A and B are shown apart, each in its own frame.
Chain A
Amino acid sequence: MAGIKNVLKGSHDYTLYKKRKSLVNRPQNMYNKKQNQRLAFDGGSYMKYDTQQCRLTYKEELAPGVFDFRLQNQAFAASAQPGQFAHLLVPGKPLRRPISICDVDQKADTLRLVFEVRGEGTQILAQYQVGDCLDVLAPLGRGFTIGDTSRRALFVGGGIGVPPLLYAAKQFGVNATVIIGFRNRDAVILKKDFEQAGCRVILHTDDGSAGRGGFVTESCREELENCEQVFACGPAPMLKAVAGQAQERCVPCQISLEERMGCGVGACLVCACKIRKADGSEGYLHVCKDGPVFDAKEVVW
C-alpha cells in the first residue's frame, strides 16, 4: 500500500516496518532459489505481500470475451514465478478476483494476465482502458516447480487453463511440447506465443474447426511417451484425466487448480482443496497458499 509508511511514521511500528521492508527489496535471486526448492512460501522473515496500483499498459481482446492485460509494476514483475497468480480488486465487489500470471516481461516490468469474462467481476475488469490503474495483490501462491529445463516437458492446457502455462513453458523453450485445447477456432489463444518461445504446439478444438478434433487427452496419451514431466491446467475433468494418464506411466505431473477465494494469502481457509498426505490420511490444503499448483498424486478428486 502506498502511503502505509506515512501512516506508521512516528509510531513504534515504523522502525520495524522499515527494517522488514528493506529485507523485501533484497535482490530477487534469493527468492528464485527458494522457489525452486518449493520453500519460498513456507514463511520467511521478510515482507512478501503487498497491494499496488498497477497501470494497464496494453490491452487486447484475444478472442471474444478473452482479454490480455499487461500491468506495470517493477516489484511484482521482478518476483513473479511461473504459475503464481494475482488477486485483482474489482471496485464495488467485496471479493478480489484471482487471475494467473500468464507471462512476465522483466524489461517492461509488466505482468501479463489473460482472463475470460465469466460474471460481473470479470465484466467490470474488462472495461479498464490502457492508462487506468488496477489495485493488484501479487504475486501469490506456490507456482510450478521448474527444475532442470533441459528435461523434456509436456504442457497440457484446456480453454482458459492455457494462459497459466505460458510463462512456465517459455522456460523450457524447445524442450516443451504444448497440447492446447479450445471449443472452436474462434476461441484459440496464445498459440503463436508458445511457438515463438520455441515450443512444439499441438492444437485441438472440440469441433475440429482448427487443429485436431477431440480432446487434448488423446494427444496427451501419445506424447507422454516422450516426456519426463507434465504441467497441466484446465477444467477439473481434463485435469483428472491427464493426472490419471501421467500416473499410469509414472510421469510426475503438476496441476494448477482453481477454487473460490477470500483473502488470497492463506488466512481465511476458504479455498480448500482435498489432499492425500504421505501417510495416507486426507485433509484440506489451500489453493491460494499451498497451491494453486499441486502434485497431481496428492489431489483427492
Chain B
Amino acid sequence: MADLSVNIAGVTFGNPLIAASGTFGFGREYQEFYPLSTLGGISCKGITLKERAGNPPPRIAETPAGILNAVGLQNPGVDHFMEKDLSWLKGQGTVVIANIAGNTPEEYCEMAEKLSDSSVDMIEMNISCPNVKHGGVQFGTSCESVGAITRAVREHCKKPLMVKLSPNVADIVSIAKAAEAEGADALSLINTLTGMRIDIETGRPIIRNNTGGLSGPAVFPVAVRMVWQVSSAVSIPVVGMGGISTWKDAVEMLMAGASALQIGTVLFSDPYAPVKIRQGLDEFLDKKGLRSVRELTGTVRPW
C-alpha cells in the first residue's frame, strides 16, 4: 500500500480525496454510507455571513455527461455552522475546510475572522459562485478584484487560505498569479461553468434561475487543462476538481499538476465513488511501483 497522504499549505490530508463544496452538505448524510474518514477532507457547503434561503426550484437540470445547478448558496450562516456542525465534523477523523462566500469584501473578511478562531483546518474562499446575484463570481473574474479580495481576506485570516477559481474567465493563469501574489496558500479549481438548458415544449429554461453552473464529466477536460496551466505557473499547491468520476480521472488530474482532488457531481450517481477512487488510486500506485501519491503530481510530459 502506497502512502496516500498529501500536505496542502501545512495541513495533512490522509488521502488526496476531498468532498467538493456544495455536493456533500456538512457530511451528515454521507456518513450514513461510510465513515467520513474514508475521505482526506471535506469542503463544506458554501456558507455566508447570514443565513440564505437559496434560489426557487427547479435548481438542477441534466445535460449530456453533466448537470447544471443553481442552488444559490442556501445555507444556515456562519454562526450556525460553527455552533451546530463544526465540532461534530471535527470528530469524524477528516480535514474540515470551510467554504465561504460573501456579498462584499467586508463580509468575506468578517467570516474569515470568525473562522480563524474556530477549529476549521482551512478556509476555501469561493469567489466563483455563478448562481448568486451579488458577489460570488464578480470578485473572481478580474486580476484586480481577485488580488484585492485575497489581500483583504489574508489580513483577517489566520488559517491556511485556499482561493477557489472560476473557469468563466479569459485568462485563468493571471488570475491564479494574482491570488498567489496577495497571499493565497493554495488554489482550488474549477468551480462550475455557466450554462443553460431550455425545455422545448414550454420554451422555459429548466432551471428557475435561467442559468446554472455546469459540472460533471462534461467539464473534466476543461478542468484538466486549467489545472495544468495554473499549476505550471504558480508555486503554491493546486487542488483539482471538475468532473472527476473514476480513479483514472483522479490519476489524470494529479498528473496535470493537482496536489489533491475534490469530488462532487459523481456522488449523485454513485455515493461510493470516493471509496472506489481511493482504492483504484492505491492499486495504480502499487502497480507503477510508486511509494507515494505525491510522486504523481505534475508528472505529465507535455509535448
- A-B CB proximity, top 8 nearest: A267-B25, A270-B60, A1-B272, A267-B29, A270-B59, A49-B32, A265-B29, A272-B57
Residues of A near B267 (CB, < 8 A) are 263, 267
Contact: B22 with A268, CB < 8 Å?
yes
Residues of A near B28 (CB, < 8 A) are 43, 266-267
Contact: B30 with A267, CB < 8 Å?
yes
Q: Please report the total number of A residues contacting B with Cβ < 8 Å.
A: 42
Complex interface residues of chain A between 205 and 264 (CB less than 8 A to chain B): 259-264
In angstroms, Cα B30 to Cα A51, docked, is 12
Contact of B268 among A17, A263, A272, A289 (CB under 8 A): A263
Contact: A271 with B22, CB < 8 Å?
no
If A4-B275, A269-B45, A269-B74 touch, does A96 touch B268 (CB 8 Å cutoff)? yes
| Interchain nearest-CB distance for A300 vs B (Å) | 10
| Segment touching B, from A8-16, A29-37, A177-185 | A8-16
Complex interface residues of chain B between 250 and 281 (CB less than 8 A to chain A): 265, 267-272, 275-276, 278-279
Contact: A262 with B32, CB < 8 Å?
no
Residues of A near B30 (CB, < 8 A) are 265, 267
If A269-B25, A269-B45 touch, does A49 touch B271 (CB 8 Å cutoff)? yes
B71 near A: Cβ within 8 Å? Answer: yes
| Segment touching B, from A66-74, A87-95, A142-150 | A87-95
Residues of A near B217 (CB, < 8 A) are 94
Closest A residue to B57 using CB positions? A272
| Interchain nearest-CB distance for A48 vs B (Å) | 5
| Interchain nearest-CB distance for B64 vs A (Å) | 9
* B37-64 contact mask (Cβ, 8 Å, vs A): 1 or 0: 1100000010000000111111111110
If A51-B270, A262-B67 touch, does A272 touch B54 (CB 8 Å cutoff)? yes
In angstroms, Cα B29 to Cα A220, docked, is 38
Contact: B29 with A260, CB < 8 Å?
no
| Interchain nearest-CB distance for B68 vs A (Å) | 10
| Interchain nearest-CB distance for A13 vs B (Å) | 5
Instruction: Tell which of A20, A49, A121, A270 has the most Cβ of chain B within 10 Å.
Output: A270
Which A residues contact B (CB, under 8 angstroms)? 1, 4, 7-8, 12-13, 16-17, 20, 43, 47-51, 89, 93-96, 121, 137, 259-274, 282-284, 289
Which B residues contact A (CB, under 8 angstroms)? 22-25, 28-30, 32-35, 37-38, 45, 53-63, 65-67, 69, 71, 74, 93, 206, 216-217, 265, 267-272, 275-276, 278-279
Contact: B23 with A272, CB < 8 Å?
no
Residues of A near B272 (CB, < 8 A) are 1, 4, 51
Residues of B near A264 (CB, < 8 A) are 268
Residues of B near A270 (CB, < 8 A) are 57-60, 69, 71
Residues of A near B62 (CB, < 8 A) are 93-95, 121
If A7-B279, A8-B275, A95-B67 touch, does A261 touch B33 (CB 8 Å cutoff)? no
Contact: A263 with B35, CB < 8 Å?
no
If A263-B271, A267-B24, A268-B71 touch, does A13 touch B32 (CB 8 Å cutoff)? no
| Interchain nearest-CB distance for A74 vs B (Å) | 19
Contact of B67 among A48, A49, A94, A267 (CB under 8 A): A94
Contact: B35 with A13, CB < 8 Å?
yes
Contact: B29 with A47, CB < 8 Å?
no
In angstroms, Cα B37 to Cα A273, docked, is 32
Residues of A near B38 (CB, < 8 A) are 8, 13
Residues of B near A17 (CB, < 8 A) are 34-35
Contact of A96 among B55, B93, B269 (CB under 8 A): B269
Contact: A48 with B61, CB < 8 Å?
no
Residues of A near B33 (CB, < 8 A) are 1, 47, 49-50
Contact: A7 with B275, CB < 8 Å?
yes
A-B contact pairs, 18 of them (CB 8 A): A7-B276, A13-B35, A16-B37, A89-B269, A94-B62, A94-B66, A94-B269, A95-B67, A121-B62, A262-B268, A263-B29, A267-B23, A267-B25, A268-B25, A268-B71, A269-B59, A282-B53, A284-B54
In angstroms, Cα B60 to Cα A60, docked, is 31
Contact: B24 with A1, CB < 8 Å?
no
Closest B residue to A6 using CB positions? B279
Contact: A266 with B29, CB < 8 Å?
yes
Residues of A near B279 (CB, < 8 A) are 7
If A94-B67, A260-B59, A260-B60 touch, does A48 touch B32 (CB 8 Å cutoff)? yes
Residues of B near A93 (CB, < 8 A) are 62, 269
In angstroms, Cα B216 to Cα A269, docked, is 17
Closest B residue to A137 using CB positions? B271
Contact: A13 with B37, CB < 8 Å?
yes
Contact: B53 with A94, CB < 8 Å?
no
